[in-house]
Structure 1
Amino acid sequence: MFTEVTCASAPGDAARPNEDLAIAGPSWAVVIDGATAPAGVDSGCAHDVAWLVARLGGALAARLSAGVPPPVPGSLPALLAEAIADTAGAHGGGCDLGNPDTPSATVAMIRVAGGRLDYLVLGDSPVLLGLAGGGVRVVADDRLERLPGGRPYSLELVRRLRNAAGGFWVAAARPEAAAEAVHGSVGLRELRAAGLCTDGVTRLVDWYGWTWDRLATELETRGPRAAVGAVRALETARGPLRGKVHDDATAVWARLPGA
């Protein structure tokens, strides 16, 4: 069980819904980051990204709270696959789920069970493992950063390589994407805490020169709200490296016994 879980989430634009979601229970936490659809792209779906994020989050929370599938090592991908399948079924027959631009999201997840912490990362929302001896281990899925040709990517390239071999994987309508997640377990004695962030927060590292240790320290000492505030201040002062000035930004920090 966690001894404390804190979180913060802020929309990138007050005029738009926040497409991030943070949810947690006594022994688990999830962060989901919906992929904002580019202007003019037809998703083939009657639902928006915020709907997908809420549905997927609800399906994950129901399973994590009930212990379904049972919390055995390596079972988080199976749990995510079931949640994706449930969410796909909730679309109804009017949505073209074969459309490569169907709404999608990244997922970061942690769960405490049986003296260990299980983790899963699908897409560019990392898990930060605060080590008992100090420092942080980062669990990341960097496949979106390794597409052919380098950034900026064309819409067609992203469309072709989303949820495809040699490309990158996200939670959309294909349950088999869950098997492509980065996942594993670590003994609780090795940890003091764990954190989850969307890429709106990891801009601090990716764009503004912070180290992962500094980000973990910020989350641990000043809390997720301070980390979100720090990225907003830097976005305003220095501008974005690419894309929108502000992105939805979400962070969770979960303390473990003995921390």
Structure 2
Amino acid sequence: MRTAVASLASGSDGDNEDWYSASPHLFVVLDGATARTGTGCSHGIAWYAAHLGAALSEGASDSTLPLQQVLSAGIERVAGLHSWCDLSHSGTPSAAVAMVRIQDDGWTEYLVLGDVSVVLDSTYGIKTVSDDRVSQTATAERRAADEYPIGTALKNEAMIRMKHAELAMRNRPGGYWIAAADPAAADQATVGRVATGDVRRFAVLTDGAARIVVPFGEMTWDELLDLAEKHGPEAVLRKVRAAEASDPLGQRWPRNKRSDDATLALAVNESGE
């Protein structure tokens, strides 16, 4: 597999709550969930994403472990690293997770938990694996927040109300699931596999990168993959930033924030095996 990755922070301060690792056989991409409320934790979101990402990269290197088991063990491991924090707090640091592992037995496995995406381009066409359960929560509060321009005080207040309503549905039946402090969340991940020989290429994206397709609609998944393969993943992220800059107040594309951390990892199967 030929691999390439790009990640851009949302702002000029360079702080990036996404995390990734990529090798010819394993991709791990995390999107730290923005904290708009208290967290009960002395560590930041980027700290959590980095430590969980490292644990998952190490755990998934054991090809005998199912990816859900890798995720469960990783969540438990990171919880042990800051057990003195209030891990029962509704806002405890969390992250969406995607993993793709290319096995020696001819299968490519994937796992998705939270609002990240794996896009597979195979002999059967494009398959997008994503988890939009979080966007199905706090719907009234989301609609209310979308009514205000980005950057206004009213928008910020509405976003806090939305976040509280969203957190009330985190990691519970009927709500959404994300990696936080409870290893049981791993059981709710979407998993699957595809024959590696059928895969021409695939991408793993955080929602900050995927927004150029959904919800912006400025590219199709085919076009995104083509651009990333021809000019590199950063070319896609630059298109994301250009689209965001064209709508700074969120009037064309209502959204939570003007820009989001964006990460795209690409793999191209040049051997066909």
Task: Return the TM-score normalized by structure 2.
Answer: 0.86
Task: Give the whole-Å Cα distance in 1 for the aligned partners of 2:164 and 2:45.
Answer: 19
**Equivalent pair of 1:193/1:254 in contact (CA under 8 Å):** yes
Task: Give the whole-Å Cα distance in 2 for the aligned partners of 1:257 and 1:82.
Answer: 33
Task: Give the whole-Å Cα distance in 2 for the aligned partners of 1:122 and 1:139.
Answer: 10
The residue number in structure 2 matching 1:140 is 130
Question: Cα deviation per residue 1:122-178 (whole Å; 9 max; x = unaligned)?
Answer: 011000101136x42101111112226353472232111011110001111010101
Task: Give the whole-Å Cα distance in 2 for the aligned partners of 1:34 and 1:130.
Answer: 26
1:63 and 2:97 correspond: no
Out of 163, 170, 182, the position equivalent to 1:174 is 182
Shift of 1:64: 2.3
Shifted more, 213-222 versus 79-88: the winner is 213-222
Matches within 5 A, 1:81-96: 81-93=72-84, 95-96=85-86
1:5 and 2:18 correspond: no
Question: Cα deviation per residue 1:26-55 (whole Å; 9 max; x = unaligned)?
Answer: 2010110001111xx210001010100110
Matches within 5 A, 1:115-194: 115-132=106-123, 135-147=125-137, 149-150=139-140, 151-152=142-143, 154-194=162-202
Amino acid at match of 2:109: D
Task: Give the whole-Å Cα distance in 2 for the aligned partners of 1:77 and 1:257.
Answer: 28
Shift of 1:212: 1.9
How many residues of Structure 1 are paired with residues of Structure 2 in the alignment?
Answer: 248
Question: Cα deviation per residue 1:49-101 (whole Å; 9 max; x = unaligned)?
Answer: 01001100110111123x16x15xxx1001010001000000132x0000110
Gaps of 5+ in 1: none
Amino acid at match of 2:98: A
Secondary structure in structure 2 of the residue aligned to 1:238: coil
The residue number in structure 2 matching 1:28 is 26
The residue number in structure 1 matching 2:41 is 45
Out of 219, 227, 230, the position equivalent to 2:236 is 227
**Equivalent pair of 1:119/1:184 in contact (CA under 8 Å):** yes
Task: Give the whole-Å Cα distance in 2 for the aligned partners of 1:9 and 1:16.
Answer: 11
Amino acid at match of 1:61: S
Shift of 1:102: 0.2
The residue number in structure 2 matching 1:19 is 17
Give the root-mean-square deviation of aligned CA atoms: 1.6
**Equivalent pair of 1:136/1:216 in contact (CA under 8 Å):** no
Gaps of 5+ in 2: 144-160
Amino acid at match of 1:145: S
Question: Cα deviation per residue 1:88-119 (whole Å; 9 max; x = unaligned)?
Answer: 000132x0000110000000110011101000
Secondary structure in structure 2 of the residue aligned to 1:51: helix
Task: Return the TM-score normalized by structure 1.
Answer: 0.91
Task: Give the whole-Å Cα distance in 1 for the aligned partners of 2:18 and 2:86.
Answer: 23
Secondary structure in structure 2 of the residue aligned to 1:9: strand
Percent of residue pairs bearing the same amino acid type: 39
Amino acid at match of 2:126: V
The residue number in structure 1 matching 2:227 is 218
Shift of 1:216: 2.0
